[in-house]
Amino acid sequence: MKLQIMKKILLICFLILVSCETKKEIHQVVEISCGQCQFEIAAPMGCDLAIRLDGQPYFIDGVHIDDFGDAHDKNTGFCNVIRKANVVGVLEDGRFKASTVELIE
């Protein structure tokens, strides 16, 4: 009887620990640009916003490539230049889930 209760308690503790896993939120200055045009990410095709974090490119969710102006502008567009940004978010499933993106001008 006591062994069964202990097993249940251990199982509940394990489930609580697993469910409390939190992803580490990233606060960092990164390079930001078009994933295909500037970071040479092959797929999916089309112009999508990406960041380069510690040398590795990741597509970014939570903002769109045209949220910061025309992506194809010759001087400031993400398809033509790599810019810097302060970002806050988490890496999840190979993508950066952004909660904040602030360009550094």
Q: Which domains does the chain have, with CATH numbers?
A: 23-104 (2.40.50)
* β-bridge partners, 87: 28, 101
In whole angstroms, give the CA distance from residue 95 to residue 43: 13
Residues in the chain, overall count: 105
Residue in the structure block whose two tokens are 């009887």: 1
**pLDDT reported for residue 18:** 57
- 6-47 pLDDT tens trace: 777 776 766 666 555 556 898 999 999 999 999 988 877 788
**pLDDT reported for residue 85:** 96
Tokens of 4: 């069964």
pTM of the model: 0.75
What are the backbone dihedrals phi and psi of residue 24, each rounded to the nearest 5 degrees, phi first?
Answer: -75, 120
Confidence class of residue 84 from pLDDT cuts 50, 70 and 90? very high
